[in-house]
Amino acid sequence: MPSLPREFYELIRDADLPLDDESSEPLEELSAAQLQIVADQAVDLLGAGWGSLLVDLGVPRDSLATPLTSADLHNNAGYQSLVNGEQRLAPSSPNAPADPLVLLVQRAFQAIAGRSPGAPKEFALPIWGADGSFGQETAKAITALQRLRATGGTPNLFAQGEAVELLAMLSAHPQGPDLFAPVLVDDSDTDPLNVDQQAVSPAVARIVSIAAAITEATSAPFTISVQGKVYTYKADHFGVPPAYKGLLRAPGGIAYGLRPGHEYWKCNIFGGTVLALAEVPVPSHRVGKFRHFPRAERFGEKLGRSRGWKLLHHLDHRDPANPEAAIIGEAQNAEIRAMLADIRPGDVFFADNPGPPGSDGGHTRICTAAAADDDPDVAPLFAQARREAAMVQRDGMMRVSNGRQIQFWVVRYTG
């Protein structure tokens, strides 16, 4: 079998396990074939929601195995023969066919790595994964098990002692995560933030004031201290053509390299930076030594699952026959109109653009003023990063309806 993609190896090396879908950003540019290797050889390292992500990125759902359970080991005759001391596993020759029992043992190692905090990193088998071949990586995992559980076993040999200890470790975490766990939206309360009727919370006020202040920092920079560190920004830090060279930093270990000739949309960086500066929960993922915010079309769901946030709206207008385009009609426009009318200051509005996933992403906006009641365009005022710089402008039906954008998320801080 092929090795796991380099990006996945680096993710396993740097990220906490199990991998939740907030860890997925570095992999979202991989091909469906590369992601299929991850699905085939590392499914037990994945966390809740990863199945949906892989399917969205082109992996057939029926090719994803169910995460391993301790019952799978108890019910497997081959594994029970190991537990009973009736056979043992030793390194195989490089050209030997995949061994189903070796594959089961490898999956058990990965399941423990993904579910047991502090498990040895060797258990993850991050280079070759669960490929059914007993090579050096599997031998290192066995050595780590022998050292951890004092099995007294022989190096490079998986025998009765190792089988008993591995089963005991997996039995402490018998069930894997739901790879297709739905995004839960809490509709139990109906207390929308209405700035015309009640005071804005301090946290929401910080979000709005910081977003507006950065967009206004055109001649003099905006400077703010967060937990003893000073951060400085100008509006054109967030333009597509970088106006500066160096690192754009934000709280939480966030850093992006700005350099001439490296152009990319920074709307998600602007939105994430505002939330980090406001000291409210915001998702991020590790990229090398720094952390990055999710892409706009992944940001909404992730933020909606973060502590203190509530996903108010998710509209999915993708055409089932062509998910890169939208269904357009009066019903869809009515949903968009109602959503825009519900947006209040401090809400974060995400949209997914037409086209393949990750092609030109989506767009991130932070509301600073609601749409006027008599506005036919139903256009709230949004702080956002546009091509040249971060700015404030109104966006309503004329900009987002009729298939111009195909998915929408509105997320509100209630913590």
The per-type count for the chain, helices as H runs and strands as E runs, is: 13, 14
162 and 233 in one domain? no
- Give the domain range for residue 228: 202-413
> Has residue 176 been placed in a domain?
no
Distance CA(125)–CA(107), nearest Å, equals 9
> Has residue 317 been placed in a domain?
yes
Whether residue 185 is predicted with pLDDT greater than 60 in this model: the reply is no
**Dihedral over alpha carbons 30, 32, 38, 41 (to 10 degrees):** -150
Domain's final residue, options 171, 190, 222: 171
Distances (CA, A) of 36 to 25, 51, 60, 103: 16, 11, 8, 17
Kindly state the helix (H) or strand (E) to which residue 205 belongs, with its residue range.
helix 202-216
Confidence at 179, pLDDT banded by 50, 70, 90:
confident
Distance CA(200)–CA(170), nearest Å, equals 48
369 and 232 in one domain? yes
Distances (CA, A) of 53 to 40, 47, 237, 297, 321: 15, 11, 31, 12, 19
Q: Between residues 171 and 19, which one has the greater pLDDT?
A: 171
Quick check: helix, strand or coil at residue 59?
Answer: coil
Report pLDDT for 15.
Answer: 74
> Has residue 104 been placed in a domain?
yes
Distance CA(182)–CA(267), nearest Å, equals 26
Whether residue 412 is predicted with pLDDT greater than 90 in this model: the reply is yes
> Has residue 188 been placed in a domain?
no
The pair phi, psi for residue 211, each rounded to 5°, is -60, -45
pLDDT winner (highest mean) among 183-192, 283-292, 375-384? 375-384
Distance CA(312)–CA(109), nearest Å, equals 40
> Has residue 184 been placed in a domain?
no
Whether residue 27 is predicted with pLDDT greater than 90 in this model: the reply is no
Confidence at 304, pLDDT banded by 50, 70, 90:
very high
Confidence at 359, pLDDT banded by 50, 70, 90:
low
| 374-398 pLDDT, tens digit each | 999 999 999 999 888 999 999 999 9
Domain's final residue, options 119, 148, 171: 171
Report pLDDT for 20.
Answer: 64
Contacts of 223 (CB under 8 A, 6+ apart): 230, 231, 232
Quick check: helix, strand or coil at residue 18?
Answer: coil
Distances (CA, A) of 190 to 227, 310, 414: 34, 11, 12
Average pLDDT of the segment spanning 71-92: 96
Confidence at 140, pLDDT banded by 50, 70, 90:
very high
Domain's final residue, options 150, 171, 192: 171
Contacts of 330 (CB under 8 A, 6+ apart): none
Confidence at 188, pLDDT banded by 50, 70, 90:
very low
Residues above pLDDT 70, as percent of the chain:
92
Average pLDDT of the segment spanning 397-405: 91
227 and 149 in one domain? no
User: Could you tell me the pTM of the whole model?
Assistant: 0.59
Average pLDDT of the segment spanning 226-239: 90
Whether residue 194 is predicted with pLDDT greater than 60 in this model: the reply is no
Whether residue 279 is predicted with pLDDT greater than 90 in this model: the reply is yes
Whether residue 307 is predicted with pLDDT greater than 60 in this model: the reply is yes
Whether residue 186 is predicted with pLDDT greater than 90 in this model: the reply is no
Report pLDDT for 324.
Answer: 85
**Dihedral over alpha carbons 300, 301, 302, 303 (to 10 degrees):** 50
- The one-character DSSP state at 19 is B
Report pLDDT for 199.
Answer: 54
DSSP string over 83-133: HTTS--B----TTSPPPHHHHHHHHHHHHHHHHSTT--GGGG-TTT-S-S-
288 and 243 in one domain? yes
Residues paired with residue 287 on neighbouring β-strands, in sequence order: 290
Domain count, the chain: 2
Whether residue 184 is predicted with pLDDT greater than 80 in this model: the reply is no
Confidence at 358, pLDDT banded by 50, 70, 90:
low
Report pLDDT for 23.
Answer: 65
| 88-138 pLDDT, tens digit each | 999 998 888 999 999 999 999 999 999 988 899 999 999 999 999 999 999
319 and 227 in one domain? yes
> Has residue 179 been placed in a domain?
no
Average pLDDT of the segment spanning 254-279: 90
140 and 227 in one domain? no
CA dihedral for 275, 276, 277, 280, sign (positive or negative): positive
Whether residue 287 is predicted with pLDDT greater than 90 in this model: the reply is no
Whether residue 228 is predicted with pLDDT greater than 60 in this model: the reply is yes
162 and 282 in one domain? no
Contacts of 269 (CB under 8 A, 6+ apart): 238, 248, 256, 293, 385
Kindly state the helix (H) or strand (E) to which residue 363 belongs, with its residue range.
strand 362-369
206 and 149 in one domain? no
Residues paired with residue 253 on neighbouring β-strands, in sequence order: none
DSSP string over 41-54: H-GGGB-TTHHHHH
Average pLDDT, the chain: 88
> Has residue 186 been placed in a domain?
no
DSSP string over 256-311: EEE-TT-----HHHHHHHHHHHTT-----EEETTEEEPPPHHHHHHHHHTSTTEEE
Whether residue 192 is predicted with pLDDT greater than 60 in this model: the reply is no
Kindly state the helix (H) or strand (E) to which residue 352 belongs, with its residue range.
strand 348-352
Confidence at 246, pLDDT banded by 50, 70, 90:
confident
Whether residue 21 is predicted with pLDDT greater than 60 in this model: the reply is no
Can you state the percent helix, strand and coil of the chain, rounding each to 5? 35, 20, 45
Q: Between residues 132 and 13, which one has the greater pLDDT?
A: 132
Tokens of 283: 């998702």
Residues paired with residue 348 on neighbouring β-strands, in sequence order: 366, 411
